[in-house]
Chain A
Amino acid sequence: MDLELFLMQLFSGLALGAILVMVALGLTIIFGMLGIVNFAHGALFMVGAYAGLWVASLTGSFWWALLIAPIAVGAFGMLVERVLIRPLYKRTPDDPLLLTFGLGYVLVEAVRITFGTDGIPFSAPESLQGVVDLGIGYFPLYRLFVLGVVAVILVLLWVALEKTRFGLVVRAGARDPLIMRVLGVDVSRLWLLVFGLGVGLTALGGVLAAPMRNVSPEMGTLVLAEAFVVTVIGGMGSLLGAVVAGLLVGVAVSMTALFAPEMATIVMFGLMALILLVRPQGLFGRPGVGA
């Protein structure tokens, strides 16, 4: 076995996993706090990619796309929460689930009508094209960049959640919304922000993924399935779980592609099945959550 190839494939897997981490983090934050399984999450990933494409074509800059698209799609997410999802909180958990399921379809169709059904290429900016010598071999610069961006986002998220008052309120609200209400916190506003944050993260994943694959209306479908697998493996509602499981799935898929390409698409489901058998709450999940 060629060690260089092995390491390269490991790196590719991490870059792939990093995108998954963005999507799964959003999914798990929204589930952990709001108790909503957001079936529109894959579509919002795709909308993020298209929003990036659109901003890039307007401004001629990938960097503006990277900054503006996630914020704009996150704001759209907040609108969705306030207008469509909020009226459903008092009803059964199935209602928001059905709503987001339908919303996903609506978004895919809307993009098809606006941008067409064909895939659109989206290239990385010139400064991020090419390869770098890592000492163990040549690696695409853009993938390295993706890893870097995701690492920065994770650090920011960690600081925001662990070191700020806002983070304290979010963590406490996730565990016990009632006590936050009787301590004067407008939990519905908190949920609005959290939903926007979760959607913004998946949209960022979409923009980052765009140069690595074709931008198409269906690009969110597989990602949603993968993100669900990641949250199940990591533990529903666990942020650390989403990060570890996202990278794990990325590497597992990438490695399997090296040794047994025909198994690559099913290996993550195998992993999930194994976790469900051995540790049903997921690697970092709390028993009983999400059951």
Chain B
Amino acid sequence: MAMLEISGLNAWYGASHILHGVHFEVEAGEIVALVGRNGAGKTSTLRSVMGLMPRATGNVRFDGQEILSKGSHERFRMGLGYVPEERRIVPSLTVRENLQLGLVAAGRTDERAAIDEIAESFPRLKERLNQQGTTMSGGEQQMLAIARAMISKPKMILLDEPSEGIMPVLVEEMGVLFRRLRDQGTTLLLVEQNVEWALKLASRAIIIDQGEIVHESSAAALLADKDIQDRYCAV
């Protein structure tokens, strides 16, 4: 069953028409890579799915329900997590408090247990629970943003350029984490500039260009097809 079904998605920033009839599906439990040039519409697609575009029309179904008319907070409560490109670690809050924010909506009472559990997957955060989140390195902040989005165990997580500006060793760690999430049944939609890395993680690849989906194939096939990569993904 498709976890996310998008069809005829159009989106605008003010007067500029950003997405033109975007359509694709993400099956439950798979990792899909959404790639394309800068400004192709990758981030706008994620923002539309999360309800953050000023205007979006079309059909977006998540877990069988139409969500375009719902507020962002309702989408999260349905099990849709989002890690924005800017990470958005809240300044002046500690790592622990940032993680607590991820649990607020669930109203979980075993907050401490949930944080202990997530800290096991993120040893770098475990040592820094009482440190201010924004004082950590970019990579650690990225890990925190991911941990915060997954602490309430969403069904699907949208990830916007998680590997951007991060040390290779952390990118490796992140890959291991994403595979483990997938094995536990979490669906991932991965937007990436680091195409090769994304394609090695994903089972399928979707290319977006100028606000339209222009290619869809298995990740392995795209990884082998340098022509298409050069045409649509060259920076």
Contacts and interface: CB of A to CB of B under 8 A. Distances in A.
Interface string B59-102: 00000000000011100110001101000101111000100111
Interface residues of A, number: 17
B106 A182 contact: no
B89 to A, nearest CB: 9
Contacts of B155: none
A183 B92 contact: no
A179 B90 contact: yes
A178 B100 CA distance: 16
Contacts of A178: 52, 84, 88
Contacts of A187: 73
A165 interface: yes
A288 interface: no
A179 B91 CA distance: 12
Nearest to B92: A175
A178 B76 CA distance: 12
Interface stretch (A77-85, A141-149, A166-174): A166-174
B166 interface: no
A180 B148 CA distance: 11
Most buried by A among B52, B90, B91, B102: B90
A184 interface: yes
Contact of B52 (A168, A169, A182, A184): A182
Interface in A28-52: none
Contacts of A171: 90, 92-93
Given A165-B100, A169-B101, A184 B91 contact: no
Contacts, number: 66
B104 A179 contact: no
B104 A183 contact: yes
A121 B91 CA distance: 48
Interface in A127-146: none
Most buried by B among A168, A169, A179, A187: A179
Contacts of A176: 88, 90
B79 to A, nearest CB: 10
A181 B149 CA distance: 12
B142 to A, nearest CB: 14
B170 interface: no
Contacts of A183: 73, 76, 101-102, 104-105, 148-149
A186 interface: yes
A179 B102 CA distance: 10
B39 to A, nearest CB: 21
A5 interface: no
Given A168-B97, A178-B52, A179-B84, A184 B92 contact: no
A172 B93 contact: yes
Interface in B21-78: 50-52, 71-73, 76-77
Nearest to A175: B90
B104 A184 contact: yes
A185 B148 CA distance: 14
B42 to A, nearest CB: 17
A182 B82 contact: yes
A185 B100 contact: no
Nearest to A181: B72
B88 A185 contact: no
A168 B148 CA distance: 15
A44 B205 CA distance: 58
Contacts of A182: 50, 52, 72-73, 76, 81-82, 84
Interface in B173-229: none
Given A172-B93, A178-B84, A183-B149, 20 more contacts: A175-B90, A175-B93, A176-B88, A176-B90, A179-B84, A179-B88, A180-B73, A181-B72, A181-B73, A181-B76, A182-B52, A182-B72, A182-B73, A182-B84, A183-B73, A183-B76, A183-B101, A183-B104, A183-B148, A184-B104
6 contacts: A181-B76, A182-B52, A182-B84, A183-B105, A183-B149, A184-B106
Please give me the 5 A-B residue pairs with the lowest Cβ-Cβ distance, nearest first: A184-B105, A184-B76, A181-B72, A179-B88, A182-B82
Interface of B: 50-52, 71-73, 76-77, 81-82, 84, 88, 90-93, 97, 100-102, 104-106, 148-149, 152
